[in-house]
A and B are shown apart, each in its own frame.
Chain A
């Protein structure tokens, strides 16, 4: 039988309060007593929708929507970035797009997230990986599916993997993820 946790989760919310205790008369003693008050804490909701532009990186996201994985390459040196980058950090020149969809790929590093930022808590556990591609100089942060998150092992590093693409694109970098080959 599963034990109940010893502590109830702490959450915000609760009743709306319209008054707080305060001395009826502001006598000198009462004014002095005010320094002994515990603090009033209130909730301040805050939300906003940003109009974010992928700008010069947009083709990379368009590629994912069309089941293609692009990379950025310096024309002169051939230095290749797995994560989109409009200009090369060594030559300063504008990069070109190349297609790396079918390149050999393997897990360079990984973790299993059993917790996460609030936005991703509902998705836990999930596996983050850094993907290493043949002939590409830098890595790509992505997710790994098709493995048992409770059997994490350093043997996963070096595992050959292949990209999979969401059928219903969200125009996010998670439109591509990887599975064991």
Chain B
């Protein structure tokens, strides 16, 4: 496999509704930005780029089959190779990794991943119905298909087993919304308090409206290249910032469509197959987990994402990450729900299983230079969702994973101030970050590691 570099990206403005543009034009908004940021014009880049991967989740929202080719057509990429990927909420993350594979394998030197979703084409509760069709239509959907309900069930179990509190979840909402206050691409830029989150309308107990991401229209594009691709682009006049941003690890995991079907494995099986290397090496952690299992924990059950742990372990091994909390400067993760951000802290090894709640309230995932209006007992250790995440940026499904990649590229290029016109969210001297894209009730999860060389 050849080295692959993430060299540019663009994000359309995410909004509840973007009736001003067709979805191909929305994609082009992000694509043009990525090209312009390289300092190239459209015809020059079109001549050099070898192909693309397209990302969108639902044919239902567009009521348009083969929408991907309409994007390819509108971007002027015909007759170059392309294909569409689909993996629920992880579609964007999968797209990013498929472009990576095309470059790493030598099939392409310069590739683009573009994605979109236009969820405003139906009313909110119909949109929830479409999303709920990503559950088994024989056994699950008819019971009361509703993703907020599914995630609420997961977190009641997490609360019962581990003592996670609604206030822990509210910390995530406050953090991500206030971060997004400095992100002009975000859909929701509000300063909320813990009380605001808890007093918001209850959607699915214990998740309130401010624990849940919103539906969005939006698009995002990323450009990846090999060393040869970078030479071609620079020969044509591209300005690619140094040091380069390299994609050093990818990982992907899966789990059962019906969360009821997930296994409940014992301590030995967990330690052998799912524990991180760091956890395996620590006698104290092994004793901690043995105690959890002695008190009834089984893995992954409905409270944890085996796919996320698998994806993280693969990506960490690929990139040589041992202690993610120490070795990652930031993580852009899939916080469709505040509760799933807490679950994902654990899956990604930022803390141990069962410690996600206290981790959320500790301050470790907050940015050090922002006043959140909360007393945080500990210092920032690894900023999680410095962009504002899905909860505040919005979640136009096919674009979301690519949006995370774009924000990660900008963090590592040190160019947040340039792109956001506000440098508040720039993590000082950011060297390595992870992006995490997640589908269904944890069915597909991707983790990719990006590093500044």
Residues of A within 8 A of B (CB): 10-12, 38-39, 41, 44, 46, 52, 54, 57, 81-85, 89, 108-121, 123, 126, 128-130, 137-143, 152, 154, 157, 172-174
Contact = CB atoms under 8 A, between A and B. Distances in A.
B168 to A, nearest CB: 14
A10 B63 CA distance: 22
Contact of A84 (B63, B139, B201, B259): B139
Contact of B138 (A52, A110, A120, A140): A52
A118 B125 contact: yes
B143 A139 contact: no
B202 interface: yes
B300 to A, nearest CB: 12
20 contacts: A12-B123, A38-B20, A41-B19, A83-B261, A111-B207, A112-B205, A113-B148, A115-B125, A115-B128, A115-B204, A117-B145, A117-B146, A118-B126, A126-B144, A139-B261, A141-B259, A143-B143, A154-B156, A154-B159, A157-B157
A83 B164 CA distance: 28
Contacts of B258: 83, 141
Give 3 nearest A-B pairs by CB, closest first.
A111-B152, A117-B129, A139-B260
Contacts of A173: 138-140, 142-143
Contact of B143 (A46, A108, A142): A142
B153 interface: yes
Interface string B38-78: 00000000000000000000000001000000000000000
A151 to B, nearest CB: 10
A140 to B, nearest CB: 6
A109 B144 contact: no
B320 interface: no
Contact of A111 (B63, B139, B156, B262): B156
A114 B202 CA distance: 7
Nearest to A82: B260
Given A111-B204, A138-B261, A152-B206, A116 B153 contact: no
Contacts of B142: 172-174
Q: A44, A121, A141 — which one has the most chain B CB atoms within 10 A of its CB?
A: A141
B156 A113 contact: no
Q: A85, A110, A117, A126 — which one has the most chain B CB atoms within 10 A of its CB?
A: A117
A128 B148 CA distance: 11
A100 to B, nearest CB: 14
Interface residues of B, number: 47
B392 interface: no
B370 interface: no
Given A83-B139, A115-B125, A117-B129, A108 B146 contact: no
Interface string B141-169: 01111101110111011011000000000
Q: B137, B206, B258 — which one has the most chain A CB atoms within 10 A of its CB?
A: B258
A173 B138 CA distance: 7
B203 interface: yes
Contacts of B202: 112, 114
Given A39-B20, A84-B139, A143-B143, A109 B154 contact: yes
Contact of A113 (B19, B146, B157): B146
Nearest to B159: A154
A120 B160 contact: no
Contacts of A46: 63
Contacts of B204: 111-115
Interface string B110-140: 0000000000000101101101100011111
A48 B314 CA distance: 42
B360 interface: no
A172 B328 CA distance: 47
Interface string B235-265: 0000000000000000000001011111110
B219 interface: no
B145 A120 contact: yes
B22 to A, nearest CB: 9
Nearest to A152: B205
